[in-house]
Chains A and B, each alone.
Chain A
Amino acid sequence: DGGITQSPKYLFRKEGQNVTLSCEQNLNHDAMYWYRQDPGQGLRLIYYSQIVNDFQKGDIAEGYSVSREKKESFPLTVTSAQKNPTAFYLCASSFQGSTAQHFGDGTRLSIL
């Protein structure tokens, strides 16, 4: 089945630690996106990538980093510079030029 796989489903981070969230898609989509979801704030765009080896900052990129070395993979690193990392993180993908985004089932990150 085609889809987007996010792992792990739950992740715990210690203070001062970087953590990486995985996102893999087998939909042959060109574009991939990372969103952060907080209660009452909807989804906010962290980073997006339209093609391999290229990505752009979204609305809340500070404290996050990404890479896009392969078409099917778009990992997100939450760095120690992100002071409030507790949230539900969602990865999405779409065909280039399409506005129909498909989402994974998210990773919930918590601080120990």
Chain B
Amino acid sequence: QQQVKQSPQSLIVQKGGISIINCAYENTAFDYFPWYQQFPGKGPALLIAIRPDVSEKKEGRFTISFNKSAKQFSLHIMDSQPGDSATYFCAASNAGGTSYGKLTFGQGTILTVHP
């Protein structure tokens, strides 16, 4: 029940295209859903996050779409650029209770944007 399932495992997109990465969760107590971006040899960096009281959040070219009833959320990268090539992780957390702060991560998606 703590799992977060992420797909696809890898994704190749042409420059200027839209990259879409999907995640699904089971634990209905999750109430915080961040996305992290990781470049080779570096630690993940927080990209964008959403709480379940909204269905969409946009920051620049990055948008999170959230479907509470389906227990799914996705990351859309508009106008994808070669510099977006990285590994992306979705995550989920229950901000309340004794386990607050603990993140459960998806398996990761390796995004390659071809010029």
B67 within 8 A of A: no
Interface size on B, residues (CB 8 A): 23
Residues of chain A whose beta carbon lies under 8 Å from any beta carbon of chain B: 4, 6, 31, 33, 35, 40-45, 48, 50, 58, 90, 92, 94, 96-106
Q: Which residues of B contact A43 (CB under 8 A)?
A: 44, 89, 103, 105
B101 CB contact (under 8 Å) in A44, A90, A99: A99
Q: Considering the chains assembled together, what is the distance between the CA atoms of A102 and B45 in angstroms?
A: 7
Q: How far is the CA of A35 from the CA of B100 in the complex (A)?
A: 16
When the two chains form their complex, are residues A42 and B46 in contact, meaning their CB atoms are under 8 A apart?
no
Known: A42-B89, A42-B107, A42-B108. A105 touches B100 (CB 8 A): no
> How many angstroms between the C-alpha atoms of A94 and B100 in the bound complex?
11
Residue B9, interface by CB 8 Å: yes
Give the shortest distance, in Å, between B103 (CB) and chain A (any CB): 6
Contact A103 B34 (CB under 8 A): no
- Render B75-109 as a binary contact track against A, CB cut-off 8 A, 1 for contact: 00000000000000100010100001111011110
